Amino acid sequence: MNKKFTRAIVSDEIAPGGMKAIELDGNEIIICNNEGKFYTVQRRCGHMNAPLDLGTLDGIYITCPMHYAQFDVTNGEALSGPVPANIDHEVMSPLLSKYMQNIGKLMNHVRMVSIRTFATKTKDGWVLVAL
Amino acid sequence: MKESSINVESRKKALHYFFSKVVDPLGFKFTPDEELMNFLLEQEVILEGKHGIPFCPCQPLRHNRSRDMQIVCPCIPFHRKHFDSIKRCWCGLFVHKDVFDPDKLPQLPPEEANHE
Amino acid sequence: MKNVKIYTLSTCPWCRKTKNFFTEHKIPFTFIDYDLADEATQNSITQELDASGATGFPFVRINDEVIVGYQPERYAKALGI
């Protein structure tokens, strides 16, 4: 089955090591440049939906800014879960404490999943993505 | 949607990539003892799965944030003088770049190590 | 007969080597895996570690002598073997 590739962005717009979030035919995606090779992933973190483009790209690894979950952009694989927040033994008001407890209970139900990837290639100075 | 379980080998590969970049400018490299390296990285993946952070597999967690941050791998910057004097980090995952025989490096605590 | 007490971590390969040393030399010893112990036990272990200035495992006490780190020659010397 032949995939239909759509022109997404001019290759020069993303320098090696960089990434850019765009919307293509209603799909929120991030195009990453790893040493000249392009990869495309869904924009939203597989944990709690935060925009991964506000995080960091290091090689083929993207880190979410919300809880630092990490994914491999070549295959979308979830590599590590959320990092616990730094609250240590912070003293909280009873109201805030109760709120945090309730959030904690709900967070136990939140699951991390791998992110979707899209076939990517370059042609005539463009990055093309199969949606 | 079913939760993804972390693939240990993939996570080890990622940790290897991130850690190399940190320890290299400090004068360290991964131990040439591949079996030890694999075992320790695997323990760190397990610890990361349990605590959310890859701690040193050979030092105690104090359950105190500022102390526990000092044993997040690679913990070399927090034990620079000690590790430089024994040419290895405590668990032995990293050794000085000029070490090719890691078995010969004893695991000495700071007070027994030779300081310059 | 010397009293041998060891504090270890289940995740540490040097701790495993330490236990093997005493087993292979047929020296009886007691040990606690710090990471698998309850909070109260962990607290008493860290108190003992702090008292000796120890920051890592394995922590071996042979009678009154404390040896930190995997050091088979020192174990042998302390045991007189």
Q: Cα-flanking dihedrals φ and ψ of residue A84, to 5°?
A: -60, 145
- Rounded to the nearest angstrom, the minimum Cα separation between A10 and chain B is 29
Read off the amino acid at residue A123. Answer: K
Nearest CA in chain B to C42: B62
CATH architecture of C11-79: 3-Layer(aba) Sandwich (3.40)
Hey, which residues 24-53 in chain A have their CB within 8 Å of chain B?
A: 46
The pair of structure tokens assigned to B28 is 């360290």
User: What is the average pLDDT score of chain C?
Assistant: 96
Whether A55 and A43 have beta carbons less than 8 Å apart is answered as no
The answer to whether residues B6 and A81 touch, using CB atoms and an 8 Å cutoff, is: yes
Q: Which of A16, A15, A64 is nearest to A42 (CA)?
A: A64
Return the HEC string of chain C. Answer: CCCEEEEECCCCHHHHHHHHHHHHCCCCCEEEEHHHCCHHHHHHHHHHHHHHCCCCCCEEEECCEEEECCCHHHHHHHHCC
Q: Please write the tens of the pLDDT for every residue from A3-28.
A: 899 999 999 999 999 999 999 999 99
Q: Report the pLDDT averaged over residues B90-110.
A: 97
**Tokens standing for A118?**
């899209």
| Closest residue to B3, CB basis, from A72, A86, A113 | A113
The whole-angstrom separation of Cα B74 and Cα B54 is 9
Asked if A111's CB is within 8 angstroms of B3's CB, the reply is yes
* Cross-strand partners of A63: A56, A70
Shortest Cα distance from C28 to chain B (angstroms)?
23
Contact of B111 with chain A, judged by CB distance below 8 Å, is answered with no
Say what the ipTM of the complex is. 0.93
pLDDT tens digit string along B45-86?
A: 999 999 999 999 999 999 999 999 999 999 999 999 999 999
Q: Does domain A5-130 correspond to CATH entry 2.102.10.10?
A: yes
* Chains B, C: CB pairs < 8 Å: 57
Task: Give yes or no for residue B115 having a pLDDT over 80.
Answer: no
Cβ contact C54–B109 (<8 Å): yes
Show the domain range for B86. Answer: 8-111
CA atoms within a 13 Å half-sphere pointing along the CA-CB vector of A116:
11
The continuous run of DSSP H or E covering A102 comes out as: helix A94-107
CATH number assigned to the domain comprising residue B23: 3.90.460.10
Domain-embedded: residue B116: no
Per the structure, the count of domains in chain B is 1
For residue C3, pLDDT over 60 is answered with yes
pLDDT tier at B1 (50, 70, 90 boundaries)? very low
Residues in C touching B110 (Cβ below 8 Å): 55
Q: Do A8 and A129 touch, CB atoms closer than 8 A?
A: yes
pLDDT tens track for C14-42 = 999 999 999 999 999 999 999 999 999 99
Q: Chain C contact for B39, CB < 8 A?
A: yes
